[in-house]
Structure 1
Amino acid sequence: MSLIRPFPALRPAPGRAQDVIAPPYDVLNTEEARLLAEGRPWSFLHISKPEIDLPPETDPYAPAVYAKAAENLKKMLDAGVLKQDDQACYYAYRIIMKDHVQTGLVAAASVADYDTNRIRKHEFTRPDKEDDRVRQIEALNAQTGPVLLAYPSQPEVDSIIAAATQGHPEADAMSEAGVRHTLWVIREAKAIARLTELFDAMPALYIADGHHRSAAASRVCAARRAANPKHTGEEPYNYFLSVIFPHHQMKILDYNRVIKDLNGLSEADFLARVAAGFRVEDAAAAVKPVRPGEFGLYLAGKWRRLTIKSELIPADPVGRLDVSLLQNNLIAPILGIADPRRDKRIDFVGGIRGLAELEKRVDSGEMALAFSLHPTGMEDLMAVADAGEVMPPKSTWFEPKLADGMASHML
């Protein structure tokens, strides 16, 4: 089996991409999705968040929700808004957010290689979220949420994908956030064969975002394989929908922390304890860390710059991450938050919201202090995955997000 392979995508009919594309299902709550889909009958949200078409009190995990997704998919197919290609193709996919551009490949990625960790993970998954994606895939007989993958940059792959973008795009749409999504079809047999060959030579791919979607695809594959006495390994369920970008083009934003209280300490006592492990400097403006090991602290209307002492930085790939350094040397021992996954005293703010959001939440009195962090590096993520380790919670915030609806993988 190949690491990746082409597939006949289900995608917007010509001229319909703007009507169809939607944010990923997991970045919106139901009310936000309902508002965004208002007056947009062909928005992919009717498939990815189908509870918006049911009474407001509907449980989003009720069987009726998955049935509604299937009904809405059929409606879009019957209306010709979505169409499936008649041959297996790869697809070049470009995302432009302000001055950031990344161009990758839409492909079907091997479940077998996911199961053996050649497609590498860096997060734990939650069974309830996996269950939701399994039910969605089974109801639609399709994977509609792409997994965001990274490949170690390979110049020939990069150049083949870049060459594909010289032609006329088959879909070109702007999201409500002002992010441009463009798709080109790669039909030429020679280019398809060479891309498959080049990816097969790679030691690994890396999941950036979509751990629950890939885990769900693996579960669906296992169930269908067990139920199919004529299983060959070539069936569509042996692969999952992915968009794969070169690692150096991936953009990870900071993932910042806000905390409710000082754990019973006075401001002076807190700062004195921080100074045991960090150099503390006053700052005249909001601190956006410019290098690993540097942090911003916003407390009582004032910003400070913290720099961790070098002797506290371990060699292991998880321990040396900035999120780990802050957690292990300050948040846990000084603020008493040992389990950031479950402790209600801590919250997380994606870097897309800016440092003003940190100031707002502290100045309002909702939170007592905030920390700004340097973004996790893509090489750091890959090192953690290569070591078979797991990233701490809320380590990465990838932007721009993929759009749902640009391409789906029918099973």
Structure 2
Amino acid sequence: MAKVIPFKAVRPTRDKVSLIAARSYDSYTPAQVESRLRDNPFSFLHIVNPGYKYQQEISGEQRYTLVRNRYQEFKEEEIFIQDEKPSYYIYKIVNRDGLEFNGIVAATSAADYENDVIKKHEDTLEYKEVIFEKYLNTVGFNAEPVLLTYPDSPDLEAIIEKIMKTRAEFEFTTTYRDTHYLWNVDDEKIVIEIEALFAKMETLYIADGHHRSASSYLLATHLKEENKEHTGEEPYNYFMSYLIPESDLKIYEFNRLVKDLNGLSKQEFLIQLDGVFRIENRGQEYYKPSKKHHFSMYLDGEFYSLYLRKGTYTISNALDALDTQILYKTILRPMLGIEDVRNDIRIGYSHGKNDLAYVKTAVDSGEYKVGFGLLSITVDEMKQIADEGLKMPPKSTYIEPKLRSGVTIYEF
């Protein structure tokens, strides 16, 4: 049973939340970071990039210490204030495409992560887990929730809908044209009801944030070992998550781009493809696959449809049935020589929101030789992979909603 509890969030004051909220640091270009740090003294980027104050790059443990210092300064100046009562936070996002996401920010259990109540579908890199655990241990807070999804619950939906009819504590629109709303839920009766509904759920699934959740679990394990009076209820036993129903989750595909044909000529490559796929030249027609095991390919100024030939590929589990895995096992590795899709510099990725025009432009420019378009993975496929204890290839999903840092902060 899932343990999802309220917590006392540290939050910006209402007048500054729109200035503080920031996307993930890695999503900004260097010019965008510079602009926000220069023009907005309240941006959360000042906390995660403390070296700006000294006009120099600072890394490692020194940076972590300065992050903690900047955060404490924001609290001392009462830009951030901690809630007095443990609360759930109803969070609604309406993105610029008109998609709406309604969920709950709460604290989720590291023990549930260990016991597979919180299930994973993606591999993590150990060195990243260790680095982020050191970061968390030094700064003492988490400002970006892990995105979890749960089976649709009419009872939970009714509570959320009722609360969202009242005035939101926060309402702001970002320069990215997404509108965010937050309601603080500290009524004891409602809090008990929400906790009980989550407790009935046997499984939660990580949609986005595998490294954050893994690092939080690693931190909980180490602090537990160091604490002789450990009870299991300390804040470090939990990590902040944004939980949304499965029907709200939006999954886009990640298309693949490859820099060369691994020494093959165009004709040699097409002949090899013909052994595994039924190929049709679509010319200038933008072809996007509409069925599983169908792929689009852009090569030498033309689009192709690739249909997997029956009998040429064996499916023995949920991973084998995944289109990203099929592409890897039939084309990327055997024909194009890409063994490590995570680290090979010859492969690039473009999420489906960029559409196939991005793939075409990247190939036409000469940066890449060939591009492949895929159909997006479904929630059921993602769950099945997790249920079977398997892991998707990297860059298999681009998932929305994308959250902002600094709106709710979890201290431990």
Q: TM-score range by the shorter chain?
A: over 0.9
1-structure distance, mates of 2:242, 2:278: 42
Q: How far has the Cα of 1:36 moved from its partner?
A: 3.2
Aligned to 2:337: 336
State the secondary structure of the residue aligned to 2:224: helix
Aligned to 1:376: 377
Aligned to 1:398: 399
Given that residues 146 and 212 in structure 2 are in contact (C-alpha distance below 8 angstroms), is that contact kept between their aligned partners in structure 1?
yes
Q: How far has the Cα of 1:338 moved from its partner?
A: 2.2
Q: Does 1:64 align with 2:65?
A: no
Number of aligned positions between the proteins? 409
Given that residues 30 and 49 in structure 1 are in contact (C-alpha distance below 8 angstroms), is that contact kept between their aligned partners in structure 2?
no
1-structure distance, mates of 2:184, 2:280: 53
Q: How far has the Cα of 1:300 moved from its partner?
A: 0.7
Task: Within 5 Å, give how 1:267-278 maps onto structure 2.
Answer: 267-278=266-277
In the alignment, residue 93 of structure 2 is paired with which amino acid? I
Q: How far has the Cα of 1:163 moved from its partner?
A: 1.8
In the alignment, residue 12 of structure 2 is paired with which amino acid? P
Given that residues 2 and 201 in structure 2 are in contact (C-alpha distance below 8 angstroms), is that contact kept between their aligned partners in structure 1?
no
Aligned to 1:289: 289
Given that residues 111 and 217 in structure 1 are in contact (C-alpha distance below 8 angstroms), is that contact kept between their aligned partners in structure 2?
yes
Given that residues 61 and 135 in structure 2 are in contact (C-alpha distance below 8 angstroms), is that contact kept between their aligned partners in structure 1?
no
Task: Within 5 Å, give how 1:126-205 maps onto structure 2.
Answer: 126-205=125-204
Q: Does 1:367 align with 2:365?
A: no
Does the C-alpha gap of structure 1 residues 154 and 2 become closer, same or farther in structure 2, counting only changes over 3 Å? closer
Task: Within 5 Å, give how 1:249-264 maps onto structure 2.
Answer: 249-264=248-263
CA RMSD of aligned residues (A): 1.8
1-structure distance, mates of 2:135, 2:28: 17
2-structure distance, mates of 1:212, 1:67: 21
Task: Within 5 Å, give how 1:225-264 maps onto structure 2.
Answer: 225-264=224-263
Does the C-alpha gap of structure 1 residues 296 and 92 become closer, same or farther in structure 2, counting only changes over 3 Å? same
Does the C-alpha gap of structure 1 residues 255 and 2 become closer, same or farther in structure 2, counting only changes over 3 Å? closer
Given that residues 2 and 204 in structure 2 are in contact (C-alpha distance below 8 angstroms), is that contact kept between their aligned partners in structure 1?
no
1-structure distance, mates of 2:383, 2:38: 40
Does the C-alpha gap of structure 1 residues 133 and 31 become closer, same or farther in structure 2, counting only changes over 3 Å? farther
2-structure distance, mates of 1:354, 1:177: 19
2-structure distance, mates of 1:51, 1:111: 32
1-structure distance, mates of 2:103, 2:323: 28
Given that residues 209 and 398 in structure 1 are in contact (C-alpha distance below 8 angstroms), is that contact kept between their aligned partners in structure 2?
yes
Does the C-alpha gap of structure 1 residues 48 and 309 become closer, same or farther in structure 2, counting only changes over 3 Å? farther
2-structure distance, mates of 1:53, 1:359: 42
In the alignment, residue 82 of structure 1 is paired with which amino acid? F
Ranges in structure 2 where 5+ consecutive residues have no aligned partner: none
Q: How far has the Cα of 1:297 moved from its partner?
A: 0.5
2-structure distance, mates of 1:48, 1:352: 27
The 10-residue stretch of structure 1 (84-93 or 311-320) with the greater mean CA deviation from structure 2: 311-320
TM-score by length of 2: 0.94
Aligned to 2:21: 21
2-structure distance, mates of 1:386, 1:30: 39
In the alignment, residue 306 of structure 1 is paired with which amino acid? L
State the secondary structure of the residue aligned to 2:279: strand
TM-score by length of 1: 0.94
Q: What fraction of aligned residue pairs are identical, expressed as a percent? A: 34
Q: How far has the Cα of 1:198 moved from its partner?
A: 1.3
Given that residues 181 and 403 in structure 1 are in contact (C-alpha distance below 8 angstroms), is that contact kept between their aligned partners in structure 2?
no
2-structure distance, mates of 1:139, 1:243: 23
Q: Does 1:358 align with 2:359?
A: yes
Aligned to 1:75: 73
Q: How far has the Cα of 1:270 moved from its partner?
A: 1.3
Does the C-alpha gap of structure 1 residues 53 and 316 become closer, same or farther in structure 2, counting only changes over 3 Å? farther
Q: Does 1:322 align with 2:320?
A: no
1:155-197 C-alpha deviation (Å, 9 max, x unpaired):
2122212222111111122223222221111122222111111
2-structure distance, mates of 1:170, 1:67: 31
Aligned to 1:7: 7
Aligned to 1:409: 410
2-structure distance, mates of 1:141, 1:183: 24
Aligned to 2:44: 44
2-structure distance, mates of 1:45, 1:340: 31
2-structure distance, mates of 1:290, 1:52: 47
Given that residues 33 and 52 in structure 1 are in contact (C-alpha distance below 8 angstroms), is that contact kept between their aligned partners in structure 2?
no
The 10-residue stretch of structure 1 (91-100 or 332-341) with the greater mean CA deviation from structure 2: 332-341
Q: How far has the Cα of 1:316 moved from its partner?
A: 1.1
Does the C-alpha gap of structure 1 residues 131 and 28 become closer, same or farther in structure 2, counting only changes over 3 Å? farther
State the secondary structure of the residue aligned to 2:39: coil
Q: How far has the Cα of 1:54 moved from its partner?
A: 4.3
